[in-house]
Structure formats: structure tokens, C-alpha cells
């Protein structure tokens, strides 16, 4: 029997070196480094087109709806499920928005609210079968995928419907206006960037101070500074580039707020923690007093609302609703979450990972399009990258 | 007698840990050799080296089997020479039949076409040898754990076993099945098959073993020869823990107060077979500061009773009244049961108790996240403080509270489960097999924790299949059989014989 006292069992915290820390947290940093490497690669082979302000804006606009859905999909996958219907929901909600505004004469605000509610109801309808009837989510959402693809066609009568009122278009094509009146330079964008950097630095210093106070293992101070400094430089550089064009797109702000919100929910709230426990071991979670059925149900409702939002953004971006909208989006979203390090068996996955995963997919799409690679080989390459990313993750975990 | 197996100077290191350090063990032909040691002493690692799970080259030292040095590259190599290992967690496919399982990977086939009549007739022979009276076509999922264990042994026999390794074979068996299994080992011995038996149940070891090798902290402590003189349980324990353990159950001076918890006429039916009543009209009570035991055989309905009580987690059509401090309480969901200060620590830690991929900290607070959060936001640092506090108080051995539960030993996992429930601040704690699969030292610590709870005025209901444990720990013991409480003994008058008599008598009715 071990006769050491409890105090002796506390292993003293040796000073960890940079390399050791990066090694032991490779999974956290590896993903970000891959994204940076991929960006650098395309920046070079496209002769600098990738990071031009115009293209950067496009990159954000093109990926916003994937990122937004990846946030919901992350929770669904962490809870141990999958949602194949999100692409069809995007199409259906987009079509509904078009019919409401163009044909039935509703105003954009009412339409937006109604469409988000419909998204939530669709999620609820599917979540009900998964959570309370224990029908595998793969089956339920496969059914949902077919049902809503069909309903989109029926709703739109097989035609494209548009264009939308200008206010609604701004959801996707609008930019945060410059309140400082810079000539050809959007100061608001730069200030927003600096404000968020200040906030990020404030919160990371606070949490570091807290961790040190409680003697938790922390990153070496140098690395901590480097990490925050790099992040600050990247964010400000990005905002500067955007400022030289038209400023920050509205969608970018929506997306950033949602990312921050979901990162907070998953890391710091009881409901987030419970979703992870549910996915990690449903039986244990249930026997710990967690209402597993209701939680599963809610993750699907949440997914539905986000898919509805994505549907609105996508329709606004095209300025028309087509029966083919959203086709295949579910695959991009699911791939983003898995590239981001989520486990197919549930219980593991991070918001930051899913977002980075979505941008890895997005940068590749964008870069390959600039290079003029055909859609055929783009798919081949994306498929292989998904396989490579996940096998690398599996390999790392085995070690 | 010749040695069938000699392992010399085996050392094996994992990154940062020396799991085996110069271990020596010699098994003579036709003997039952017991391998004992606390959890983490290196028993399983040693057996993995022997069976080739850790291939030659990944360890140092040599294995001499049947007179020649062997270098196994995988399990297939060791099995080909008749070394068969049966793991604690059975490796049967539940939805395949007995015959299919026995010949899995070794099908009775010609050119890939299975000869079913041959497979069935050989299965029948093998089942006869192990004394299992079942049809070869029965699906494994329809068998109890004891019978599944016999199927595993039949499978081993089908491979022409010469050295049979059993890892905790009786951990989940009741006394009758355990005895049958041990007798089988003795039979095999008579036929010249050698076996290595890993077990925590020392009484079984002293019953059948010819020699006992004791491991501690990855090294061989000693080998005791039972043929020269009988080896007492205390003697074995001394080797395992490195000192004598005066008393296996910590002393306690019970201060029992008024009745605080009462269950009246509790009944529950089987979740699938709706007409089968699994819990029949159970009434019991627990007093303040009292440890109450429920004895019974496997399948007596004890776990089913506890789980149906705890938020209707088992069964259907449940009825009965529960009162705490004289007021009826609602226990219809786990959440309500917990908020009414009932806790249930499961017998199956890995399936029902822990989120294995998460760390100690997150497991400890899982049942009472409100206790470390304000309006749905978790206070990280408060949570950390709580987890560190329990880690120190319960003496959970790990580098930190950030250690994932999957990497903890059984005893430490159990301490995490107990921490989780203690943090939910219960009045009544139901412990289902709290020391299953835990080594002697950790058991003592768990007992100490249970005693502390009782001293703090809680009521403890303890379900255990190990009667000495109930007799050593409880103030009062109920006996359950076939879903009913059939007897109640005060500890002063209880004995193993009386409990068994009560069970046998009720079974005859």
C-alpha cells in the first residue's frame, strides 16, 4: 500500500520547456499550424492572390455558412450523433425565405425570425426521433435529407426565386460601415480588430494569472507571449487588409460572435460539459442525473436553428433561392468537424478545431479554384486531405 | 517435475514507467500456479509478455517454454504452442452461438466451407468436458457470466491447450460457479494441463494453488510452495502489501441513530419481459450512521432493486414508497433522486460510473455541476479546488486531477466514482459491489471511506457478493433471493452459514 501523504502525491510542477509543451499539446497546435501552412502554400502558388483583400473577403463570405453549421455539428458529433440533413435544411429555409419575401410579401425581419424558428422546428422534429425513440441519427437525418430536399423542390415549384429586398441582401453582402469617414480605408474595421485583440489578451492574461494562482500547469511564459503576440498580429493584419477594401463583412461579425459564444458554451457552461459527458458515456451521464434525452433533443434543435441561419445567409449571398441550394453542404460541414479533431464515437472535439477545420476546407476550395483546378480533382484532393487529417489524428492519439 | 515454463529476468518499460523489473517465475508441468499482487503490480503485463501481446524485443529477459527459448511475435505464436490466455473481460461475440464462438478463427472448415456437423459434435464434446449443459446453437448473449466463462475455457481446450492462463476468472462469478470453475482447474491438472491463475480472491488460491508467485511494484517478491506447507491468506497478503495486515476491515465504533430512510413495498418488473417481477415487495430501512448490507447470490435482484430505486434506472411498472426523514420523496428520475440526496455508486464503473475519456476533475463534478457553477457558468478554479480536495482526501493516485479516468487503476477509478457521489452530498449512499476487482490495499482504503461516511451520520446501503466483506463492514444484513428479502440479521448474530442457509431454504420453497 502506498503510504505517502496526500501532499507528497502532488507532483511538483517542473518548468516545462517550449518544445516539451508544444509536443504534449501537439493536437491543439497542430491543427492551427496546418491551416497556416496550407495558407502559406496557396499564397505562394497563387502569387499572392489568396490574401488579397478582395479574395480574403470572398473567403469569409464563401465559408461563413459552413463555419456556422460546423458549430452546431460539433455539438451533434460530440453528443455521439450525426446530422446529414443540414444541406437540405439550408435549401429549404432559403426557399422558404424567398417565398415569404418575394411571393407572399413579408418583411425581411419577420421572415428571418420565422425562418430561424422553422429551422429549429425541423431540428426538433428530427431530434425527437433520435432522442426519445432511439432511432439512429444517421437514419433519421438521412430521411430528413430526402424529405427536405423534396420539400424545397415542391416549395419553389422547381424554379429559382429572387431577387430579395436590399435589406435582406445586406445579411451577406453588407459591410460594417465606417463611422470615421476614412477615404478608402475603413477605420472601424481596424478599431474592431484592435478591440478584439485587446479583449483576447485581457482574458488570456486573466486566465493565466488564475491558473498560476492555483498552480495549474501553464504554457511557458515565452510561448504564452509568442502565442498571444502572433494571434494579435494575425488579427490586426487581417483587419488592416479588410480595411483597405470595404471593411468587415456583416457575416464575419455574426460568425465571430457565434464562434465566441459556442467556444464559451462548450468550455465553461454546465450544458456544454454535459454534452461532452453524454457523448463520452451516455449511461454514466444518465446515472449522474443528466437528462440525456432532452440534451440530445436540444443539440438537434440547435443544429436546426444554425442550419436555418446558414440557409438565410446562403440565399442572401446568391440573392436568389434555388432548388439546388445547399446540395452537399452536409459533407463539408461534417468533414470540417472531423478534420478539426472531433471523435466519431463522441465525447471529443473542440469549437476552435471545427472552425479551423472549416477554414482548411475553405482555403483549399478557394486556392484550388484560383489555380483553376477542376471541380473533379478538387473533390479528390479534399477527400484525401480529410482521410490524411483524421488518420494523423488517430495515429497521434495512439502514441 | 519438469518446468513447463520459465521466465527469467523479465523487464519491461513503458515511457516513464518500469512496469516489470527483473521478474522470475517458474511453472512446473501440471501444476496450478497462482500469480498474486495488488493492482498495478505487473501481473497483466507479465502475462502479455508471455502470450506475445508485447512481442519479443519489446522486453528484456528470456522465456523458456517446453525446454526451448521462445520468441513470440504475437498471440498466434504462443497459441500455436498451447499457451492460451483467458482475459478478465471475456472476448466472446454475444450474437454468435456457442459453437461459432468456440471455433472463431479456427473454424472446422475445408477450403473455407464450414463443416457444421463436425463443429457441433466437437462443441458438444468440449461442453461436456467443462460441464456446461447447453446446446451448441445457443447464442452466447443468452448465457450468464459463469457459463460464458466456461465457453471461453471450452474454446481454450479446442486449441489443444497446455498452459492455461486465467485472469481473474471468478471476479464476476457467484460462489457456486466459482467452485465449479476451480474444480475444473483441478480436473485439468489431473490431465496434465498446467495453469496460471491470477486472482484477488485469496481463499480460492489457497484452495487450489500448488505454488504462488507474489509480485509487488513490478518485481517478484517470492514464490511460495503450497505442497511443502499450507500457505495462509495472511501470509499471502503479507507478501503482497509488504507488511502484515492485521485486520482487513478497519475498526469502527458505530453510533446508530434514528431511522432516516425507509423503502416500503418496492416492486419492479423486467424491462423486456413485462410479466417477470424482478423485485418483489421489498421493504427495508436504514438508520442514521448505519451500514446496512444486502447479501445474495448473483442474479438475486440486488442491483436491479438498487437501480430501480435510483431514478427508475432499471425495469418498469415500478411501485412502492420511499421516505427520507419521515417524508415521502420522489425518486422517479435520477435527477430527483440526487436532489433528494440519494446516491448510487454502480457495480460497473466503466460502463455506468465514469466518462473514461475525461479527466478526474470533470468526473468528480459530473453529478453536481451546480456545486461549482453560477447561473450555468462553471467556475474553473472552484472546480479544480474541489477536484484537488477529493483527490487528496480520497488518496487518488495520479499525477494530477487532469489524468484521464481511463488511465487509472480499478481502485483509483472507484475512488473517483465515490468522490463524484460524495460531492453530490447525499444522505443515503447505495454502494453496489464497491470493491469489485480492487486489490487488498485499495479495498482497505475504500472501507475506511465508507466508515467515515457512516460516522458522519449518513446511511449506507452496501451490496456485495463477498460475504466476509459484508460481515466485516455492516451493522445489519438483509438477505435477498429471487427478488425478495428473505432474511434480516443483526451483525452480532450473522454468519456466512446462516446467510447461505437462508438462501438455500428460500430456494427450496
Whether B249-341+427-509 and B3-241 are alike in CATH topology: the answer is yes
Q: ∠ CA(A381), CA(A387), CA(A391), 5° rounding?
A: 145
Contact between B265 and B321 under an 8 Å Cβ cutoff? The reply is yes
Residues of A in contact with B242 (CB under 8 A): 1
CB B59 within 8 A of CB B20: yes
Domain residues of chain B, as ranges? 3-241, 249-341+427-509, 350-425
Per-residue pLDDT of B231-280, as tens digits, reads 887 788 777 776 555 577 888 888 999 999 999 999 999 888 888 899 99
Q: What is the CATH number of domain B249-341+427-509?
A: 3.40.50.300
Written as one string, the DSSP assignment of A85-144 is -HHHHHHHHHHHHHIIIIIS---HHHHHHHHHHHHHHHHHHHHHHHHHH---HHHHHHHH
Asked if the C-beta of A375 comes within 8 angstroms of chain B's C-beta atoms, the answer is: no
Q: Which helix (H) or strand (E) holds B267?
A: strand B259-269
Contact of A216 with chain B, judged by CB distance below 8 Å, is answered with yes
A9, A274, A291 ranked by CB distance to B397: nearest: A9
The reply to whether B169 touches chain A by the CB within 8 Å rule is no
CA-to-CA distance for A57 and A52, rounded, in angstroms?
9
Which of A292, A210, A111 lies closest to B355 in space, CA to CA? A292
Stretch 373-392 of chain B: residues touching chain A, C-beta under 8 Å? 373, 376-378, 380-381, 384-385, 391-392
Q: At B453, is the pLDDT very low, low, confident or very high (cuts 50, 70, 90)?
A: very high
B 398-437 residues inside an 8 A Cβ radius of A:
399-400, 402, 420, 424
Is residue B208 pLDDT above 60, yes or no? yes
| pLDDT of B82 higher than 80 | yes
Residues of chain A with pLDDT under 50: 1-14
3-state secondary structure of B260: strand
Give B214's strand partners. Answer: B36, B222
Calculate the CA B278 to chain-centre distance.
Answer: 23
pLDDT value for B1: 57
Average pLDDT on B197-222 reads: 86
Let me know: does B421 contact B386? Beta carbons within 8 Å. Answer: no
CB atoms within 10 A of CB B351: 13
Per DSSP, chain B holds a count of helices (H) and strands (E) of 16, 24
Shortest CA gap A317–chain B (Å):
36
pLDDT of residue B445: 87
Question: Does the distance separating the beta carbons of B395 and A2 come in below 8 Å?
Answer: yes
Q: A299 or B187, which is more confident?
A: A299
- The CATH class given to the B3-241 domain equals alpha beta
- Check whether B452 has a pLDDT greater than 60: yes
pLDDT in tens, B340-377: 999 999 988 888 999 998 999 999 999 999 999 998 99
> What is the model's pLDDT at position A26?
67
Using alpha carbons, list the distances in angstroms from residue B142 to A298, B134, B156, B316. 36, 11, 20, 21
Predicted pLDDT at A80: 94
ipTM of the prediction: 0.84
Please compute the mean of the pLDDT values over residues B462-473 and round it to a whole number: 88
Record: contact A210-B355, CB cut-off 8 A: no
Give the pLDDT score at A31: 80
User: What is the model's pLDDT at position B292?
Assistant: 96
More confident residue, B105 or B325: B325
What are the phi and psi torsion angles at A360 (to 5°)? -60, -45
pLDDT at residue B264 in the model: 94
Q: Does B334 touch chain A (CB under 8 A)?
A: yes
Q: Give CA–CA dist B350/B281, Å, rounded.
A: 30
Among the partner-chain residues B358, B367, B424, the one whose CB lies closest to the CB of A276 is B358
For B425, the grid coordinates are 452530498
Residues from chain B contacting residue A216 (CB–CB below 8 Å): 384
A219, B270, B398 from B319: Cα distances, Å: 55, 13, 43
User: Nearest by CB to A216, which of B366, B384, B395?
Assistant: B384
Strands of B428-432's sheet in order across: B342-345, B428-432, B459-463, B291-295, B476-481, B484-490
Give the strand pairing for B291-295 and B476-481. parallel
Residue B38: all three cell numbers together: 495488488
Cβ-in-10-Å burial (0-12, 13-18, 19+) of A56 comes to middle
* Distance separating the N- and C-terminal Cα atoms of chain B: 51
Amino acid at each position: 500500500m502506498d503510504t505517502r501523504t496526500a501532499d507528497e502525491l502532488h507532483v511538483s510542477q517542473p518548468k516545462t520547456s517550449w518544445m516539451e509543451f508544444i509536443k504534449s499539446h501537439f493536437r491543439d497546435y497542430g491543427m492551427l499550424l496546418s491551416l497556416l501552412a496550407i495558407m502559406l502554400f496557396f499564397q505562394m502558388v497563387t502569387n499572392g492572390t489568396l490574401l488579397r483583400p478582395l479574395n480574403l473577403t470572398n473567403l469569409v463570405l464563401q465559408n461563413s455558412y459552413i463555419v456556422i453549421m460546423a458549430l452546431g455539428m460539433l455539438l451533434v458529433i460530440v453528443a455521439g450523433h450525426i446530422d446529414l440533413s443540414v444541406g437540405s435544411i439550408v435549401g429549404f429555409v432559403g426557399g422558404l425565405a424567398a417565398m415569404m419575401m418575394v411571393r407572399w410579401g413579408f418583411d425581411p425581419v419577420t421572415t428571418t425570425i420565422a425562418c430561424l424558428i422553422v429551422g429549429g422546428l425541423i431540428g426538433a422534429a428530427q431530434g425527437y426521433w433520435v432522442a426519445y425513440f432511439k432511432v439512429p441519427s444517421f437514419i433519421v437525418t438521412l430521411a430528413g435529407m430526402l424529405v427536405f430536399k423534396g420539400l424545397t423542390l415542391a416549395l419553389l415549384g422547381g424554379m429559382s426565386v429572387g431577387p430579395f429586398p436590399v435589406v435582406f441582401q445586406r445579411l451577406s453582402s453588407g459591410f460594417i460601415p465606417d463611422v470615421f469617414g476614412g477615404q478608402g480605408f475603413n477605420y472601424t474595421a481596424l478599431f474592431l480588430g484592435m478591440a478584439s485583440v485587446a479583449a483576447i489578451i485581457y482574458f488570456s492574461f486573466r486566465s493565466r494569472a488564475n491558473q498560476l494562482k492555483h498552480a495549474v500547469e501553464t504554457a511557458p511564459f515565452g510561448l504564452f507571449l509568442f502565442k498571444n503576440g502572433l494571434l494579435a498580429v494575425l488579427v490586426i493584419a487581417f483587419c488592416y487588409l479588410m480595411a483597405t477594401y470595404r471593411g468587415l463583412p456583416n457575416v464575419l461579425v455574426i460568425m465571430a460572435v457565434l464562434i465566441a459564444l459556442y467556444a464559451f458554451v462548450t468550455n465553461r457552461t454546465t450544458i456544454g460539459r454535459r454534452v461532452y459527458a453524454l457523448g463520452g458515456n451516455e449511461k454514466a451521464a444518465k446515472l449522474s442525473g443528466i437528462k440525456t434525452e432532452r440534451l440530445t433533443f436540444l443539440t438537434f434543435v440547435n443544429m436546426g436553428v444554425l442550419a436555418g441561419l446558414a440557409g438565410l445567409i446562403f440565399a442572401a449571398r446568391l440573392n436568389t433561392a434555388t432548388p439546388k441550394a445547399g446540395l452537399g453542404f452536409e459533407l463539408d460541414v461534417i468533414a470540417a468537424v472531423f478534420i478539426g479533431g472531433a471523435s466519431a464515437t463522441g465525447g471529443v472535439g473542440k469549437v476552435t478545431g471545427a472552425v479551423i477545420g472549416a477554414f482548411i476546407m475553405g482555403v483549399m476550395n478557394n486556392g484550388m479554384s484560383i489555380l483553376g483546378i477542376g471541380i473533379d480533382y478538387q473533390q479528390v484532393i479534399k477527400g484525401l486531405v480529410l482521410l490524411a487529417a483524421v488518420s494523423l489524428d488517430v495515429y497521434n492519439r495512439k502514441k | 517435475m519438469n518446468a513447463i515454463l520459465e521466465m527469467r529476468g523479465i523487464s519491461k518499460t513503458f515511457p516513464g514507467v518500469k512496469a516489470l523489473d527483473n521478474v522470475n517465475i517458474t511453472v512446473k508441468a501440471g501444476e496450478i500456479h497462482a500469480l498474486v499482487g495488488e493492482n498495478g503490480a505487473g501481473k497483466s503485463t507479465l502475462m502479455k509478455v508471455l502470450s506475445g501481446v508485447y512481442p519479443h524485443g519489446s522486453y528484456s529477459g528470456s522465456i523458456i517454454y517446453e525446454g526451448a527459448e521462445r520468441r513470440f511475435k504475437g498471440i498466434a505464436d504462443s497459441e500455436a504452442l498451447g499457451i492460451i490466455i483467458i482475459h478478465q473481460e471475456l472476448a466472446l461475440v454475444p450474437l454468435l452461438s456457442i459453437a461459432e464462438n468456440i471455433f472463431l478463427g479456427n473454424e472446422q472448415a475445408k477450403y473455407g466451407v464450414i463443416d457444421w456437423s463436425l463443429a457441433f459434435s466437437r462443441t458438444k464434446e468440449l461442453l461436456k468436458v467443462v460441464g456446461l449443459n447447453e446446446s451448441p446453437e445457443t447464442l452466447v448473449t443468452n448465457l450468464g457470466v459463469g457459463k460464458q466463462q466456461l465457453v471461453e475455457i471450452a474454446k481454450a481446450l479446442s486449441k489443444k491447450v497446455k498452459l492455461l492462463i486465467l485472469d481473474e476468472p471468478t471476479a464476476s462469478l457467484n460462489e457456486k460457479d466459482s467452485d465449479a470453475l476451480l474444480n475444473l482447474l483441478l480436473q485439468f491438472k489431473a490431465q496434465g494441463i498446467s495453469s496460471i491463475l491470477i486472482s484477488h480472491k485469496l481463499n480460492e488460491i489457497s484452495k487450489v494453488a500448488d505454488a504462488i508467485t507474489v509480485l509487488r511494484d513490478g518485481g517478484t517478491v517470492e514464490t511460495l510452495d503450497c505442497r511443502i506447507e499450507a500457505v495462509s491468506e495472511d501470509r499471502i497478503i503479507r507478501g503482497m502489501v509488504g507488511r502484515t495486515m492485521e485486520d482487513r476491515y478497519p475498526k469502527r465504533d458505530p453510533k446508530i441513530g434514528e431511522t432516516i430512510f425507509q423503502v416500503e413495498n418496492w416492486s419492479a418488473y423486467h424491462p423486456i419481459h413485462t410479466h417477470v417481477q424482478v423485485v418483489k415487495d421489498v421493504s427495508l430501512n436504514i438508520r442514521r450512521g448505519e451500514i446496512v448490507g444486502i447479501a445474495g447470490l448473483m442474479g438475486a435482484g440486488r442491483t436491479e432493486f438498487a437501480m430501480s430505486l435510483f431514478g427508475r434506472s432499471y425495469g418498469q411498472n415500478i411501485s412502492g414508497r420511499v421516505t427520507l426523514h419521515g417524508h415521502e420523496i420522489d425518486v422517479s428520475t435520477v435527477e430527483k433522486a440526487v436532489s433528494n440526496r440519494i446516491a448510487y455508486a454502480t457495480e460497473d464503473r466503466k460502463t455506468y460510473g465514469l466518462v473514461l475519456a475525461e479527466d478526474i476533475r470533470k468526473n468528480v463534478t459530473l453529478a453536481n455541476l451546480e456545486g461549482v457553477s453560477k447561473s450555468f457558468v462553471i467556475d474553473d478554479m472552484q472546480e479544480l479546488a474541489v477536484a484537488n480536495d477529493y483527490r487528496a482526501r480520497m488518496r487518488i493516485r495520479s499525477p494530477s486531477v487532469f489524468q484521464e479516468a481511463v488511465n487509472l487503476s480499478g481502485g483509483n477509478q472507484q475512488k473517483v466514482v465515490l468522490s463524484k457521489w460524495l460531492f453530490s452530498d447525499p444522505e443515503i449512499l447505495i454502494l453496489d459491489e464497491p470493491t469489485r476487482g480492487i486489490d487488498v490495499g485499495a479495498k482497505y482504503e475504500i472501507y475506511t471511506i465508507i466508515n467515515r461516511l457512516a460516522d458522519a451520520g449518513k446511511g449506507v446501503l452496501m451490496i456485495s457478493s463477498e460475504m466476509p466483506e459484508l460481515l466485516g463492514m455492516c451493522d445489519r444484513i438483509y438477505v435477498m433471493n429471487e427478488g425478495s428479502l428473505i432474511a434480516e440479521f443483526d451483525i452480532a448474530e450473522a454468519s456466512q452459514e446462516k446467510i447461505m442457509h437462508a438462501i438455500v431454504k428460500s430456494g427450496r420453497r
